Amino acid sequence: MKNEIHNLQKELIEEKLKSKSLAEELENPMNVHRWRKLEATDSETYDLMTKIQTLQKRLISKTEEVSKFNENKLKIY
């Protein structure tokens, strides 16, 4: 049981780090002007990139929800 708790806590920490790094990446985008140029020249690729960014934001929010759920679950035990 203790081993399982330890493994869950380790996974939680790893997911928090992933979530934090993705959030920081979204807050500080690199090469912003590159996307403007892409929008003008290849709108299909630009649309795909905006969909990816939207999905990344959703992934971060869902990861945070899972993290909070797991924290609450650990508090119960």
Q: List all residues 6 or more positions away from 46 whose beta carbon is below 8 Å from its beta carbon.
A: 35, 38, 39
Asked if 15 and 63 count as a contact pair (C-beta separation under 8 A), the reply is: yes
* Mean pLDDT across 35-48: 73
Report the mean per-residue pLDDT for the chain: 82
- Provide the 8-state DSSP code for 67: H
Overall domain count for the chain: 1
Closest alpha carbon to 21 in 67, 65, 56: 56
- Is 74 within 8 Å of 11 (Cβ atoms)? no
pLDDT band at 39 (very low <50, low <70, confident <90, very high): low
Q: Determine the structural domain holding residue 9 and report its residue range.
A: 2-76
Residue 23 confidence class, pLDDT cut points 50, 70, 90? confident
